[in-house]
Structures are given as structure tokens and as C-alpha cells.
Chain A
Amino acid sequence: MRFVNLFFVIFFIFSLKVSFAQEGNLKNKITKNLRCLICQGQSVYDSDSEFANSVKILVDKKLNEGFSEKEIYVFLKERYGEWILYDPEFSKITYFLWLLPIILFLIGGAIILKIFNIRKN
């Protein structure tokens, strides 16, 4: 069982690096990660509001100017705050957000092992 645990941890770290947004191009990936600030719970990608349309144009323009994905996020964060990003960055205010589920998962495994004596056949 311990081996299984370890496997998941390694797997998880590995999977964080290969981010899961394989659909389409970078522009879609970025706009899906941006909150349309004047809408209710829609991403910029999903929305057709004036604000969202402008942000779409902006992302396009910045990509053409050679901005990286991260630089675009920084640019928008400076103007609109952390609130605009759907994918919260791993920083000191979000350590718990990202790690707590994993910690709970490990604790859960530990509890199962503690209460039950699981034998191999």
C-alpha cells in the first residue's frame, strides 16, 4: 500500500507539469483561464460580452507581440487583480488550496491502513 501511495504522489507531481489544456491553441487556453469580470461565472472564452471580446482581441495582440502566456497573466493581474485568473497560481495564499486535498487524500489512506489490517492474499 505504501508503494501505491508513493506512486500517486509521483504521478500527481508529474501531472501538474503537463497541464491538461490540450484543446486547441494557446489563445483558447488563455481565454478559458480568464474570468469575464462583468459576467456571472463565465470565462472570457465562453462569453460574448464587450469586455470579453476586447480581452480576446488583447490576448491575440499580445501573443503576436511575442508575450508569453505568463506575461499576459501578469499584465492582466496588474490591472484587474488575482480575481481574473481561474487557475489560481501556486503562491503563499494558495498553498492550502492546492495542497489540502492531497494532504486529506494521504490522511485518508493512512486512516484506512490504521483501522484495517490489509493482507496480501
Chain B
Amino acid sequence: MKIRIFPVSIIFLFIVIFIVFLKGLKNPNIYKPKTDVKKNIPLLNFELFESNKKINSNEIFVDDEFYLMNIWSSWCAPCRDEHVFLIKLSKEKNLKLVGLNYKDNFINAKNFLDELNNPYEIIITDKDGLVAIEWGAYGVPETFLIHKKKIIKKIIGPLNIDLVLEIKELVK
């Protein structure tokens, strides 16, 4: 009997490996961060876009409202593409848009908004990308839906029509 244990356990081992690989194939192969975790928003002081005044996260994200924080930059091409959707969302009643201007230069950013209209109620700046890291963001564009000081949805990459409808549904 002793001789048999070895082959059987080896074959069993390979079967396990096979099953794991098979299951692994079905997983999405590109790393997708968890986007539906309810995390608290970071407590920070932000610098405002138009002036050098500081503002606290608690002052921006007041309890009962829904907020959509969008990270954007004038040099980012997908931001330009998603801008129409932001304009659309800015017309939503119980949703306030917050812009986080990422590693941008003031004049370019201002021109960008003058050209495409400004959907944001308030804009804060992030000169060196540190604020974005506090939020756990990867880059531009990225969008967070915030309610009761919690991140209820996180969108990495540009918005599209489906996401806009989903956000509208969520804030109703």
C-alpha cells in the first residue's frame, strides 16, 4: 500500500492545481480595485482653486447631501470626453459636484472650464497629487460618489452614459 500513496497524492495535487488555474482563468485578469466598499472620506484641509483659502472636508461634504467628487485635469484627454456627462449630472437636484483639479496649471485649467463650462459647485486643487492619494485614487479621471461622509461608489476612468444613469438612480 505504501507505494500507492505517492502516485495518488501527486495526481491529487495536480488536479487541485488544475482546478485553481481553471477558476483563475474566469477571474478578470486585469487588477480591478474594489469599487463598492463603504469607506470613510479622508479628513483633510483642501486648498481652493480660485483663491488660496483652505477648506476642510467636513465643510464641503455636509451630511445629508449626495456629492460627486471628480478628479480632473486640463491635460487629460479622457477628462475632456467625460465632461459632457458631468454637465448633465450637474443639473441633478440632490447632487453636488466637487472638482479636484489634479496636478494642473491654473491658466490651462481655467481655459478648460471656460471652454467646456464649469459643472462644479466647488473646486479644490491638488498640486502634487497627494490629495488624490489620500482618497486612494489612481489618477485622472476618477470619480467618487459620497453620502453621509462615506464613499458609496468609486469610478476609475471616464464616465459614460450607463454610469450616469446608475448615479442618477443612486441619488434618488
Interface residues of A (CB under 8 A from B): 37-38, 49-51, 53-55, 57-58, 61, 76, 79-81, 83
Task: Name the A residues within 8 Å of B134 (CB-CB).
Answer: 79
Q: Provided the pairs A58-B133, A81-B33, A81-B34 are in contact, do residues A51 and B138 lie with their beta carbons within 8 angstroms? A: yes
Chain B, residue nearest A57 (CB) = B128
Interface centre among B129, B130, B135 (most CB of A within 10 A): B129
Contact A53 B129 (CB under 8 A): yes
Which of A50, A58, A81, A83 interacts with B103 by CB under 8 Å? Answer: A50
Task: Name the B residues within 8 Å of A83 (CB-CB).
Answer: 31
A59 to chain B, nearest CB (A): 10
20 pairs from A and B in contact (CB 8 Å cutoff):
A37-B31, A38-B139, A50-B103, A50-B129, A51-B139, A54-B103, A54-B128, A54-B129, A54-B130, A54-B133, A55-B133, A57-B128, A58-B129, A58-B133, A76-B133, A79-B133, A79-B135, A79-B136, A81-B33, A83-B31
Contact A37 B128 (CB under 8 A): no
Task: Name the B residues within 8 Å of A38 (CB-CB).
Answer: 138-139
- How many CB-defined contacts (below 8 Å) exist between A and B? 37
Q: Provided the pairs A50-B103, A81-B33 are in contact, do residues A57 and B139 lie with their beta carbons within 8 angstroms? A: no
Task: Name the B residues within 8 Å of A54 (CB-CB).
Answer: 103, 128-130, 132-133
Interface residue range, chain B: 10 to 19
Which of A37, A57, A61, A76 interacts with B138 by CB under 8 Å? Answer: A37
A58 to chain B, nearest CB (A): 5
Per-position binary interface string of chain B over residues 111-138, scored 1 when its CB falls under 8 Å from any chain A CB and 0 otherwise: 0000000000000000011101111101
The binding surface of chain A is classed by DSSP as helix
Q: Which 8 A-B pairs have the closest CB atoms?
A: A54-B129, A79-B136, A57-B128, A38-B138, A58-B133, A51-B139, A58-B130, A38-B139
Besides A51-B138, A58-B129, 5 other A-B contacts (C-beta < 8 A): A38-B138, A50-B129, A57-B130, A79-B135, A81-B34
Distance, CA A37 to CA B140, complexed state (A): 13
Chain B, residue nearest A52 (CB) = B129
Task: Name the A residues within 8 Å of B139 (CB-CB).
Answer: 38, 49-51
B102 to chain A, nearest CB (A): 8
